[in-house]
Amino acid sequence: MRGVEGAKAMISTVRAACSDLRMTIEHQVAEGDLVASHYIVRGTHDGGYLGIPATGRPVTVTGLCMTRFRDGRIVEEWEVSDAPTLLARMGALPEPARD
C-alpha cells in the first residue's frame, strides 16, 4: 500500500469484509518523530475478503505499528499483525492448535 489512495483502498476493502469493524489502541508511545501503537481490531466477517466468502464469524486481529512523521504527515510505517489467525477465523487456513 502506498500513499493516501492506497490507504483508502485498503480500508474500504477491510470495511467491506467486516461492516462492524472497530479498532482499539491498547498502548501508544511517542518519542521524537516515531509513534508506536499496539492495537486490536474486532469485527464480524460478513463480507467477502481476498476471495474468501463471508463466514459470519467474529474476527480479532492484534498488531503493532511503528509510524514515522515529518511535518505532521506519515512518511514511513512498519506493521506486524496476526494475519494467520485472522485467515484461520475466515476459514482460509486451518485453526491454530491450542494447548
Write out pLDDT tens, residues 14-31. Answer: 899 998 999 999 999 999
Summarize pLDDT for 71-80 with one digit per residue, the tens.
999 999 999 9
Summarize pLDDT for 62-98 with one digit per residue, the tens.
999 999 999 999 999 999 998 888 788 887 777 767 7
Q: Domain 3-89 is in which class?
A: alpha beta
Report the C-alpha gap between 27 and 81 in whole angstroms: 15
Residues 92 and 61: beta-carbon distance below 8 Å: no
Residues 67 and 60: beta-carbon distance below 8 Å: no
